Amino acid sequence: MSDQNAPPSPLANGQPNSQPNSQPNSQPLAPLQLNVQYTKDLSFEVPGAPEIFITLREQPRVDLSLDVQARPVPGSPNIFEVALQIRADAKVGETACFIAELAYCGVFTVNVPQEQLEPVLLVECPRLLFPFARNILADITRDGGFPPVMLAPIDFVALWQSRRVQPPVGNA
């Protein structure tokens, strides 16, 4: 059943909509649009398998590192790839239990003034990606034979602000 009140598709028969009596779209552009999200890289390693599963007697200590990177997509104005990179190293003493690395990305269309671009890319975009990356990391560690790593919520504003106040390397 079709909706007779639906606006015409921007692509009709694979061609841009060019109705002769159509007026320019007066709706403002969305300031942030998530076009696609995807796992760019995923690695899970259990260096001591299968022995680690036999000898493991305590909960491993999990060290986490998180980074956010953003880059423009070449040839596409206002389109950026934002990567949320997470690494989890689990050890008992000096014995490695597992190493998990995830690069979870999104391609975003961003229509904001230049002075707002950095916080949108490094705060709002990763905030949208984080729940999915968190779920992937929990699933991969559980499927690898360990208790799932459940990341606590991340304060991306504080992370972004801490990056801005760090002195450049080499300054005293």
Q: Taking the domains of the chain in order of start, what are their residue ranges?
A: 28-165
Phi, psi of 38 (to 5 degrees): -165, 160
Q: Which two tokens stand for residue 87?
A: 């690494």
Q: pLDDT band at 168, cuts 50/70/90? A: low
Q: For the chain, give the percent of residues with pLDDT over 90.
A: 62
Q: How far is CA 25 from CA 1, 85, 160, in A?
A: 26, 38, 35
Residue 17, pLDDT above cutoff 80 = no
**What pLDDT score does 58 carry?**
86
Q: Which fold has domain 28-165?
A: Bacterial Protein-export protein SecB (3.10.420)
Q: DSSP class of residue 146?
A: S
Determine contact, residues 79/35, Cβ cutoff 8 Å.
yes
Give the global pTM: 0.77
Cβ atoms 68, 126 nearer than 8 A: yes
